[in-house]
Amino acid sequence: MGLEEEIQELEDEIADTPYNKSTEAHIGRLKSKLAEKKEKLEQQQSGSGGGGGYGVEKHGDATVALVGFPSVGKSTLLNALTNAESETGSYEFTTLDVYPGMLKHKGANIQILDVPGLIEGAAGGRGGGKEVLSVVRTADLIVFMVSVFEIDQYDRLREELYKNKIRLDTEPPRVNIRKKAKDGLTVNSSVDLDLDEETVKSVLREHGYVNADVTIGEQVDLDRLIDGVMDNREYVPSIVAVNKADLIEPDYLPTVESELEERDIDPEEAIFISAEEEKGLDGLTERIWDELGLIRIYMDKPGRGVDYEEPLILREGDTVDDACRKLGGSFDERFRFARVTGPSAKHDEQQVGRDHELADEDVLRIVARK
Ligand SMILES: Nc1nc2c(ncn2[C@@H]2O[C@H](COP(=O)(O)OP(=O)(O)OP(=O)(O)O)[C@@H](O)[C@H]2O)c(=O)[nH]1
């Protein structure tokens, strides 16, 4: 029996087995087997197709993947938001069906990738689908683009990404596995787990663990437990842009809103745009900025004053140390202390060390050894 048939059999058996306490461990084993076999199949497929990193280079301060069905208006949006047309040629995406553009906002360079081949090619690795997915996996944010008349496409898009190990709008599961030399499997949990200990152990055994301490820090179901054990899923935030809003009459809007609500998308959170008429694009850009969690740091350079034009772009939570690293050069070794003025500082010119957490629109001066 080939791998594909084995996968099909496992999927059938999982679908046919009712889920309850007495079948839980069994289903856990089946799902684990399934996950391992899918992994193997994928390795075989990428092995024959060259595989590897596909040479997709990240440019700019952050990367956003634009994901949607054909003809929803992705390229129209990309052209409206970015300098795509003028710079397309300078990127190394030759064999890939991916079109990059650079969105400049608040001094940051945000790379936007139009990945048109996702739906046509992705299932089962046909054409460039797998390669396109590897691009989506490395994005910092996914923008789902649907048209006002086809909100249901959202389901297919999410499903396609899920199948390809992309987990949306969620943090990695708090499952920690520490291998040891002997004494079998031990399960520790800081919450009162719904899953039986025996189920957790059978899942682990199925993934090849014989001796290990497992710590679980949240209420996980089987799928999330397996995600935690497999440890090769990408966790990416997403937003929804509803395009062609220019085409709807006001009395159709409630229909669109209820279609969104059916899919757990708050209509207030979805961004209605018209790529063609360039409406709603400022709102979309602002949301992209917020979701990426970028912050602007204005560097105060000795003798040159504060540079408000080209801020250093960092992430929320980043520290002075991260700033030094991004600045490059020899700042790292020569660092003595820094002075910060702005939202993260207690007072102007506060003297801080490397571990000081910066905030949007801080002014930072690094004092370095000669
Ligand atoms: N009315 C209206 N038409 C739009 C809008 N955005 C795009 N279109 C039209 O929809 C069609 C498809 O737009 P594209 O930008 O080529 O769509 P795409 O998603 O890039 O499609 P593929 O290239 O097939 O992947 C074009 O005829 C656009 O002019 C919009 O906001 N409103």
pLDDT in tens, 211-220: 999 999 999 9
pLDDT of residue 96: 53
Place of tokens 């809003």: 245
Please identify, in words, the CATH class of the domain defined by 295-368: alpha beta
How many A from CA of 75 to the centre of ligand 1?
7
Round to whole Å and give the CA distance between 49 and 46. 5
> Among 48-52, 128-132, 308-312, where is mean pLDDT lowest?
48-52
Q: For the segment 314-334, what is each residue's pLDDT rounded down to a tens digit?
A: 999 999 999 999 988 787 788
- Choose the residue to mutate in 66, 69, 71 for probing ligand 1, maximizing ligand atoms within 8 Å of C-beta: 71
Token pair for residue 306? 């504060």
Please tell me if the CB atom of residue 244 comes closer than 6 angstroms to any atom of ligand 1.
yes
With a cut of 80, say whether residue 51 has pLDDT above it: no
| Domain spans of the chain, in order of start | 3-51+173-232, 62-169+235-292, 295-368
pLDDT of residue 347: 96
Choice between 48 and 300, residue whose per-residue pLDDT is larger? 300
Token pair for residue 30? 């089946």
pLDDT of residue 117: 65
Cβ–Cβ under 8 Å, residues 187 and 247:
no
Round to whole Å and give the CA distance between 59 and 74. 20
Neighbours of 115 (CB within 10 A): 27
How many A from CA of 160 to the centre of ligand 1?
22
Please tell me if the CB atom of residue 70 comes closer than 6 angstroms to any atom of ligand 1.
yes
Q: Give 319's DSSP letter.
A: B
Is 62-169+235-292's fold the same as 295-368's? no
State mean pLDDT over 152-178: 93
- State the closest ligand 1 atom to the C-alpha of 68, by its place in the atom list counted from 1: 19
pLDDT of residue 257: 94
Q: For the segment 68-123, what is each residue's pLDDT rounded down to a tens digit?
A: 988 899 989 999 998 765 444 434 444 456 788 899 999 999 999 888 767 654 44
- State the closest ligand 1 atom to the C-alpha of 274, by its place in the atom list counted from 1: 31
How many A from CA of 74 to the centre of ligand 1?
6
Round to whole Å and give the CA distance between 228 and 172. 7
Helix (H, G, I), strand (E, B) or coil at 251: helix
Choice between 219 and 134, residue whose per-residue pLDDT is larger? 219
The DSSP secondary structure of 80-98, one letter per residue, reads HHS-HHHHGGGSS-TTS--
How many A from CA of 243 to the centre of ligand 1?
9
Helix (H, G, I), strand (E, B) or coil at 202: helix
Confidence band, pLDDT 50/70/90 cuts, at residue 368: confident
Round to whole Å and give the CA distance between 327 and 358. 15
Helices (H) and strands (E) in the chain — how many of each?
13, 17
Token pair for residue 222? 């089987």
With a cut of 50, say whether residue 350 has pLDDT above it: yes
Round to whole Å and give the CA distance between 82 and 115. 15
Q: Can you point out the beta strands (E) in the chain?
A: 62-67, 99-105, 108-114, 141-147, 166-168, 175-179, 185-189, 212-216, 234-236, 238-243, 271-272, 294-301, 305-306, 312-315, 335-341, 350-352, 362-368
Round to whole Å and give the CA distance between 41 and 299. 50
Choice between 46 and 203, residue whose per-residue pLDDT is larger? 203
Please tell me if the CB atom of residue 153 comes closer than 6 angstroms to any atom of ligand 1.
no
Token pair for residue 119? 């739906």
Average pLDDT score, the chain: 88
State mean pLDDT over 29-58: 72
pLDDT of residue 135: 82
- State the closest ligand 1 atom to the C-alpha of 145, by its place in the atom list counted from 1: 19
State mean pLDDT over 41-64: 66
List b or e across 306-331, with b for residues whose CB sees 16 or more CB atoms inside 10 angstroms.
eeeeebbbbeeebbbbbbbeeeeeee
Q: Which amino acid is at 211?
A: N
- Choose the residue to mutate in 67, 69, 75, 76 for probing ligand 1, maximizing ligand atoms within 8 Å of C-beta: 76
Does domain 62-169+235-292 match CATH 3.40.50.2300?
A: no
Task: Please give the C-alpha separations between residue 166 and each of 171, 206, 261, 339, in angstroms, as whole numbers.
Answer: 11, 22, 22, 40
- pTM for the whole structure: 0.85
State mean pLDDT over 124-143: 75
Q: For the segment 211-267, what is each residue's pLDDT rounded down to a tens digit?
A: 999 999 999 999 999 999 998 899 999 999 999 999 999 899 999 999 999 999 999
With a cut of 50, say whether residue 125 has pLDDT above it: no
pLDDT of residue 334: 86
Please tell me if the CB atom of residue 276 comes closer than 6 angstroms to any atom of ligand 1.
yes
Calculate ∠ Cα 134-135-136, nearest 5°: 90
